[in-house]
Amino acid sequence: MEGKEQVKAYAEADFSQANAQFSRLFRSAFPEFRGEGRILDLGCGPGHILRDFALNFPGCTCLGIDGSQAMLDQGLAHVVQPNTSSVTLQCSCLPFTDDCRTWQVILTNSLLHHLADPGHLWQTIIKCAAPGALVMVMDLLRPCSEQAAAALVKKYSGQEPQVLQDDFYHSLLAAYRVEEVREQIREQGLDLQCSKVSDRHLAAWGRISP
Ligand SMILES: C[S@@+](CC[C@H](N)C(=O)[O-])C[C@H]1O[C@@H](n2cnc3c(N)ncnc32)[C@H](O)[C@@H]1O
């Protein structure tokens, strides 16, 4: 996501509901997590989710990577705050294979449907995850029709700028169904579960084998 108007609209939009849902899902999937270690956010965008993790888990080292410097630039001011975990944002594209097998937590929200090859996400997770790492993937869920997609856009982003509404519509139609994500996970030999978690989201989560 590099377009100036698109990036600005995304960074200014209110995704607090979806971001809170991501944090809730993480806490309910991994109640034992005490906030230590290294957290990697793939396709972090402006870094809102990573900022929430840094605030809630002050003992971590957090890295967000995103292929768009323009998106990262929108986020820096929000993320770097005192009394939080250390947060670094870095411009890198998937597949990302730095620091292999050293990340205790891998997060990603709303990236999967952007990738030309969804395998790049799962392969990155496999390469980066430390043994026993916690993985939380959330993404949009493809609706059953274009009409259903248009209804979701109207319901959730009818007040947002047109560029954001268009983006949401196209993203919904580019997203996967639960069965498709389960198949991607199975193909990669990962042990993650995947479910519908709202009328427009799915999530996949689990632990990487120790
Ligand atoms: C819809 S935004 C989600 C941003 C953030 N995760 C959030 O929840 O707000 C998708 C992000 O994925 C990034 N992206 C798309 N393809 C990518 C790739 N191959 N490698 C890294 N980042 C990518 C885009 O630049 C964009 O910032």
Note the pLDDT tens digit of each residue in 133-146. 999 999 999 999 99
| Higher-scoring residue by pLDDT: 209, 175 | 175
pLDDT above 90 covers a percentage of the chain that reads 75
Q: Where are the domains of the chain?
A: 14-141+177-207
Q: Quick one: pLDDT at residue 2? A: 65
Neighbours of 36 (CB within 10 A): 13
Q: Is the CB of 6 under 6 A from ligand 1?
A: no
Q: Quick one: pLDDT at residue 82? A: 58
Burial of 178 (0-12, 13-18, 19+ CB in 10 A): middle
For the CA of 116, the closest atom of ligand 1 is 19
Q: Quick one: pLDDT at residue 58? A: 87
Contact in structure between 93 and 67 (CB atoms under 8 Å)? yes
Q: Which residues pair with 135 in a beta bridge?
A: 106, 206
Q: Quick one: pLDDT at residue 98? A: 81
Q: Quick one: pLDDT at residue 210? A: 83
Average pLDDT over residues 56-80: 84
Protein residue with least CA distance to atom 1, ligand 1 = 110
Q: Would you call 144 helix, strand, or coil by DSSP?
A: coil
Contact in structure between 45 and 71 (CB atoms under 8 Å)? yes
Note the pLDDT tens digit of each residue in 162-190. 999 999 999 999 999 999 999 999 999 99
- Separation of alpha carbons 20 and 152, rounded Å: 19
For the CA of 18, the closest atom of ligand 1 is 8
Contact in structure between 117 and 108 (CB atoms under 8 Å)? no
pLDDT band, very low/low/confident/very high, at 1 (cuts 50, 70, 90): low
- What integer best gives the mean pLDDT of the chain? 92
CATH code 2.70.150.10 for 14-141+177-207: no
Tokens of 76: 């820096």
Instruction: Tell me how far the alpha carbon of residue 32 lies from the centroid of ligand 1, in angstroms.
Output: 28
Please tell me the least confidently modeled range out of 12-16, 50-54, 192-196, 197-201: 12-16
Q: Which residues pair with 140 in a beta bridge?
A: 201
By DSSP bridging, strand 86-91 and strand 103-109 are unpaired
Q: Quick one: pLDDT at residue 99? A: 74
- Separation of alpha carbons 205 and 210, rounded Å: 15
For the CA of 66, the closest atom of ligand 1 is 22
Protein residue with least CA distance to atom 24, ligand 1 = 1
Q: Which of 2, 92, 111 to mutate to test the pocket of ligand 1 (most atoms within 8 A of CB)?
A: 111
